[in-house]
Every structure is written in structure tokens, then in C-alpha cells.
Amino acid sequence: MKRISIIIIIALSITKIAAQSPAYTESEIQINPLIDGTLLIPNSKEKPELVIIIAGSGPTDRNGNQNFLKNNNLKKLATALTDKGIATFRYDKRIVKQIRRGNVDLSITFNDFVTDAKSVISYFKATEQYSKIYVAGHSQGSLVGLLASENNTDGFISISGAGQNFGDVIVEQINNTARQFIDDTERVIKTLKAGKTTTDYPAQLGAIFNIETQPFIISWLKYNPTEIISTLEIPILIINGTKDLQVSENEAKLLANANTSATLKLIENMNHVLFIIEGDDLENSKSYNEAFRKISSELIDSIVTFIESNR
């Protein structure tokens, strides 16, 4: 009797381990000396679709984390999609590797991020192992993805991406949060849009207009997301949350209006880091550093449905 009990326990343990085993194969890929990432391939498909995930602004790593903010939102996004049978690749922005090596290139431009994204797309297209390749750009990564996709992929997904020029986004944010500096902000943005740097700004705006980062901002200001998305002739999905503190749902509507073939999805109570927030702005802000949270299931379902509809 004791032996039978032991056999049953072992069998149940094996079943439990099997149930917990991921339904995908994970591997580390080096695209080039600047770009490393994680590839997840579902075990259930021989030639799956691939979603390339592009991170947002700042030194954001492949998992969606930076500095002291850890929420793993992009890792959760990748894992959830692969659990649904879609391969994913997420990568560290080049500045992440530079910071780790202690050799940050201050001459980096917005175009460098676009070049990196194009390199990733070319790498996976050359393998011919995927039925279709999509780009999903989060926040700043939305514009990067737009420029990299330009009819070079099978579809584009914007997640919390701005519709306005970045300079106009800054002006709007300052107007909403520190209106006493709106005139200074508009003046500086006008100068940067003209391709010139300036040290004539209040110290309180130094975090935004640091002279060392102004050349990067200038390179970013050259692009208008609505103009670019209007030229895309591939399937487009635009997603935004109604509790996004950084990119309002109106930005998503601007993108959708610029390309009438695009699909717009607004997710109730989803915030910028893809979590569902039921409470106030304090809960919303704290969630940026709460890795225990789950990302929106509606977000995952929307992306899966979009990809399935284009098979």
C-alpha cells in the first residue's frame, strides 16, 4: 500500500512539473555587437508568426525595466503572446549595453534606434523561419517601429504611442503639470525644431532640456508620427489605455485618424506600463515599480486577434 502511495505521489509530481513547463523554447540571440535579445518560440508551431517588441524611451532593457523601475511589462507581454502560439523577440536598447560597459555614446541619435530595429527585422526575415513578422512598439518604440516597419513587415502594432510630434507632447505635458513654464518650453522647443541647441531655459526644466541630450531630442523632433503612419500599407493595430499618465488616448486617436485602415483599441483602466489600475494616480505611479502585477489580458487578446485576422 505504501509503495502504491509513493508511485501516485511521483506521478502527480511529474504531472505538476509538466504542467508548469513553458510551452516555448527560449534562446538568447545577438543581432550585432550592439543588440542582444531573447527569442521565445512556441513548441506548438513549426512556422509561427513573430512579434518583435521595441521598448520605450530611456535606458529600457528587453524586459521593460530601467534604473530603479522594475515591472517586467515587456517580458510579460512576450511570454503571454508566446503562450498563445506567437513567437516573440525582445531586445535591450543599445544604450543599455553601453551603460553596462561604462561607455555611453553621447552622440547617439533617434535614428540609431531605428537602425537597430531595422537590423532586427532584417535578421529574422533572413531566417525564413516565420510565417509573418510584426513589430510592436511601446511608447517611444511606437515611432521607432513605425519608421522601421515602413512596409518592411507584415503588420505594425502601436502600444501607448504618441500621435503628435514629440515636441508638442512635451509642451502639452508642461501645460498640464507646470503651466508656469509653458512659455519657456514653447520657446525651447521652437529652437530645437529649428535644429539649434540652447542653454536659455529655467533650471527647473534642466531634466528635460539638458544640453547633452538636446542633439538627441533634435533628431527625434524631425518626425511626425501621423505623417508616417498615413503612408503605411500594412495591417495596423493601435492600442492605448484610458489610465495612461504619459500618453493619452487622444494620441492613439490621432494615429488612427491618420490611417483609416488602422484598428483602434482603447483598453479601459490600462496604464502606460500595461497594467490595469482601479485606483487613483498614486496607485498608477507606484505600479511602474511593481513587478508582481499582471499585464492586461485584454491587451494580449487584442494583439492575438489582430494577428489571427491577418493570417
Starting at the earlier edge strand, list the strands of the sheet with 87-91: 24-32, 35-42, 87-91, 50-54, 133-138, 155-159, 236-241, 263-267
CB 253 within 8 A of CB 226: no
Query: What's the pLDDT score for residue 4?
Result: 54
Domain ranges (residues) in the chain: 24-165+223-309
Residue type, 193: K
Query: Which 3 state secondary structure label does DSSP give 210?
Result: coil
Query: What's the pLDDT score for residue 85?
Result: 97
Element (H, E) at 166: helix 166-177
- Write out 211-247 in H/E/C secondary structure: CCCHHHHHHHCCCCHHHHHCCCCCCEEEEEECCCCCC
Q: For residue 265, what are the β-bridge partners? A: 239
C-alpha cell at 34: 550592439
pLDDT under 70 in the chain at which residues? 1-21
Query: What's the pLDDT score for residue 18?
Result: 45
Select from 2.60.40.10, 2.40.100.10, 1.10.10.10, 3.40.50.1820 the CATH code of 24-165+223-309.
Answer: 3.40.50.1820
Tell me the pLDDT tens digit for each residue of 296-308: 999 999 999 999 9
Tell me the pLDDT tens digit for each residue of 261-310: 999 999 999 999 999 999 999 999 999 999 999 999 999 999 999 999 99
Query: What's the pLDDT score for residue 44?
Result: 86
CB 144 within 8 A of CB 114: yes
Query: What's the pLDDT score for residue 80?
Result: 98
CB 201 within 8 A of CB 207: no
Q: For residue 50, what are the β-bridge partners? A: 87, 133
C-alpha cell at 282: 498614486
The pairing of beta strand 155-159 with beta strand 133-138? parallel
